[in-house]
Chain A
């Protein structure tokens, strides 16, 4: 589904290389996790994949279902099925959460040549999904993420994912800031979306999320590269021993 080959990325305005040859393949139906020390480039990878400005790809490629996504506009990548749950969801004063969701959903449908969803169907859908994530009507009415607590913002990301039903979901530290119950809700939300046609790339620092969302593959990223790949046991190793051993071993 997602194939990243030898991806090198530097900052556009600075001579700073951040990704130094990332190789990563995520197959449909699978959950991959990425762990790695702060500043190793995990968020950068997620931003570059979703098309944020400010980065320059100097080498390598990334394809989604065989299509080169690096040349696409962010909205085209979204319509192609890519979704990023942000590490720091953005507040947008003045834009209602509902308007935002409906505009996004319809824009993607339109881009794929599908009909727009009716106002009634949309309401039904959003209420149903919001309920399972314990997002109340008041939060839906408020401007996007404005005044939301850290955990509410993360749940709102998952609500968007549930509404948009992307095929490739990247979750950047969705667990940070969540209390134990919210972590369960969010995990259930993710697990409910798991299916053969969909893949997940879960960036996290903690084993705890991976107790709920069981990964098939775990990668360790350090200094702009994937330095080790293994099974779920790799996450446990990080949890118990930190990165020192792993990094020492690959160095």
Chain B
């Protein structure tokens, strides 16, 4: 069968299994229909697509979500437990008001997506599917368009001032066959500031899209930990557009997960904006297959902007890591400062890492650097630690934490940094104790 036909069949099969939401406002129905047209036009990703060269999209595009056992968290403290925050809970992709806090908070307006789609709220209308559409060129991201068309739930957040506390989206996974599609909108108005936290696996299969518009001098912080369910699958997209002197900082911690593809698409359209994206991922093939893909695309389209990508992966027992990161500097984006580092620490020879760093620069006065490394644990350091009485497994973990530190330090809020660090340490400790 011809390749195009395979793609068409895959796409048709998946779309046939979905239904467009009903009862929404006219503009919303239109946005959904446009998105559906986009998906049909692009077709869902296939193994032969260049952008999916290192990650097999099949389980993310097949009509039915593969079953995923529920992970037992036992005595592990929930993420961000020690931090005062507004909690919004989704169970298998459905908003659960009973477990959530009241959505009213100083500095922000929070609306459930389904409510927002039934009304005509100007900023929602100006954002829903808009950044996702912009993010479809130069590289197609069909799973995001599919999300825009079919998302069943989500949250719309508009920060008008400094949010009183972080907003925490908690994704619980209770049904082994759940297939969740969530779409969030975040609008940070001029000078406003908000932190969005995310945690949990969400579903057996999770398709999440978040569109973030940060107006001039606005500040957006994003910290997430993806659920530890070994068999869970996730395809996530964050699309953001940054205004003048705005700040965007995102950090993701991942351990476990048979399939994760996290895409970040950032467009810097205002001068002097700052964007930092970071990720720390740990995979151990001994406790279940692990494939983790970070794909980042940052476009500099304004002057003196700074972007930073710091991605670290620790892989063992056949775990697979992928990084595709691109910095595109448009002709007028002079004085761009772009930095990108992706590193993998392979704890054995069975694990693998594929890195594809790319720079495409059309301006002449820019500073861009990128690096990608794959390495093993430093034997000399390991021996030094052991010679002081630190057992090998603990010594290895200390070096693992040290390796991941640079990514974790990208989190601006120290309390969140501590939460992530403690979480990691605890995971490693549990693992050591078998």
Contact = CB atoms under 8 A, between A and B. Distances in A.
Given A52-B383, A104-B385, A92 B391 contact: no
B405 A75 contact: no
Contacts of A144: 384
A51 B379 CA distance: 13
Interface in B360-389: 378-381, 383-389
Contacts of B383: 51-53, 74, 90
A108 interface: yes
A90 B390 contact: no
B401 A75 contact: no
A94 B401 contact: yes
B399 interface: yes
Contacts of A75: 386-387, 389-392, 395
A107 B394 contact: yes
A52 B390 CA distance: 14
Contact of B381 (A77, A92, A107): A92
B339 interface: no
A108 B398 contact: no
A86 B380 CA distance: 11
Interface string A43-76: 0000000111100000000000000000001110
Nearest to B393: A75
A203 interface: no
Find the residue from A77, A84, A100, A143 having the highest chain B CB count within 10 A. A100
Contact of B386 (A51, A93, A94, A105): A51
B13 interface: no
B403 interface: yes
B274 to A, nearest CB: 24
A186 interface: no
A160 B388 contact: yes
Given A51-B386, A74-B383, A92 B392 contact: no
A95 B386 contact: no
Contact of A104 (B381, B389, B401): B389
A78 interface: yes
Nearest to B378: A92
A191 interface: no
A86 B384 contact: yes
B105 interface: no
A164 B389 contact: yes
Interface in B396-414: 398-399, 401-403, 405-406
Nearest to B406: A94
Given A90-B381, A94-B403, A94-B405, A78 B387 contact: yes
A111 interface: yes
Contacts of B378: 92
A92 B384 CA distance: 9
Contact of A90 (B384, B389, B406): B384
Interface string A169-188: 00000000000000000000
A109 B30 CA distance: 68
Contacts of B388: 78, 83, 100, 104, 107-108, 160, 164
B377 to A, nearest CB: 11
A89 B398 CA distance: 17
Find the residue from B385, B387, B402, B403 having the highest chain A CB count within 10 A. B387
What 6 A-B pairs are tightest by C-beta distance, nearest first? A94-B402, A78-B389, A108-B389, A104-B388, A74-B386, A90-B384
Interface of A: 50-53, 73-75, 77-79, 83-84, 86, 89-95, 99-100, 103-105, 107-108, 111, 143-144, 160, 164
21 contacts: A50-B387, A73-B391, A74-B387, A75-B386, A75-B387, A75-B391, A75-B395, A77-B387, A78-B388, A83-B387, A90-B383, A91-B381, A95-B385, A95-B399, A103-B390, A104-B388, A104-B389, A108-B389, A111-B389, A164-B388, A164-B389
Given A50-B387, A51-B387, A83-B387, 20 more contacts: A51-B383, A52-B387, A73-B386, A75-B386, A75-B392, A79-B389, A86-B384, A86-B387, A90-B381, A92-B385, A94-B399, A94-B401, A94-B402, A95-B385, A95-B399, A99-B398, A104-B388, A107-B394, A160-B388, A164-B388
